[in-house]
Structure 1
């Protein structure tokens, strides 16, 4: 499995950056869909971001239309997240989380933390918590409310980075 920090992500505006920019910080990565029944989780994720950002937590949203519940593109999805849910964490371009076109980030996450269906993202709002070292990945089901992640988030924030 490749190094997490060697992977890149592309923001909604088309800017590509290395995930190494977040080295030493716990990261929640979530595949999102603005028209999904789980969309109210945006508000809960934003609350976690507001509470823990100063301690180092990063939340990254990745729109995906693989389940046919997203707007036309990542920019439209990000705008809907900001205006409807007050999201201030980084949102990215639309990507594939399953199948032949799976984005390398999600391929890495699924290999690091397989779910009940193996290396498949079951639905929108599957959440992955990556530790400060880009190693340990904890996977949370779409139906898991973000506030249920608080013990794992606090543990990740309390753990020192090894590099």
Structure 2
């Protein structure tokens, strides 16, 4: 009986660890550019591509590919989350300006956060957790973090990797239903 109790005690610790691992980075909330909140938990079971963006960057044209990616795969479950950030001093002055610019210039209708810190001590908890768990931190605008359906970091890419590049497409397709 003592052996059985030890086995169950170990099992409960293992199950608690699995539950924490299963949650991954999915428990975070962002301020929505439209007001309110965007909860990563609302997208549980779906892949989410999180991209720190800026409106006045040489990589800003990637917004068009992000929208194409979202349009192509949203019916199969993909969420593309744009996270405008002024950490690299290339974002417009207000969330309203960012939203208008993105809608008028790129026809964006994907989820977008309010202007958010993605690096350093003020980094949003999502980015802090990704950095702590993987060592990946945006070093510039348009860095990409692909979150798998179970909330794990599935892949990361730097600014130079275009949203419609083969590595990004292959990683996303591998996670779709």
TM-score if structure 1 supplies the norm length?
0.88
Q: Post-superposition shift, 1:3?
A: 4.0
Q: Residues 81-100 of structure 1 correspond to what in structure 2 (within 5 A)?
A: 81-100=102-121
Instruction: Say which of 114, 129, 140 aligns to 2:157.
Output: 140
Q: Residues 55-134 of structure 1 correspond to what in structure 2 (within 5 A)?
A: 55-115=76-136, 120-134=137-151
Q: Residues 30-45 of structure 1 correspond to what in structure 2 (within 5 A)?
A: 30-45=51-66
Q: Post-superposition shift, 1:5?
A: 2.7
Name 2:25's counterpart in structure 1: 4
Q: What do the CA deviations read for 1:52-88 (whole angstroms, capped 9, x no partner)?
A: 0000000001110111110012232122111101111
Gapped regions of structure 1 (runs ≥ 5): 159-163
The number of residue pairs the alignment matches comes to 154
Q: Tell me the distance in 1 between the aligned counterparts of 2:76 and 2:49.
A: 14
3-state DSSP of counterpart to 1:146? coil
Q: Which has the higher helix share?
A: 2
Name 2:173's counterpart in structure 1: 154
Rg larger in structure: 2
On the 8 A contact 1:78/1:92 being kept in 2, the answer is no
On the 8 A contact 1:29/1:61 being kept in 2, the answer is yes
Q: Tell me the distance in 2 between the aligned counterparts of 1:63 and 1:102.
A: 13
Q: Tell me the distance in 1 between the aligned counterparts of 2:35 and 2:53.
A: 18
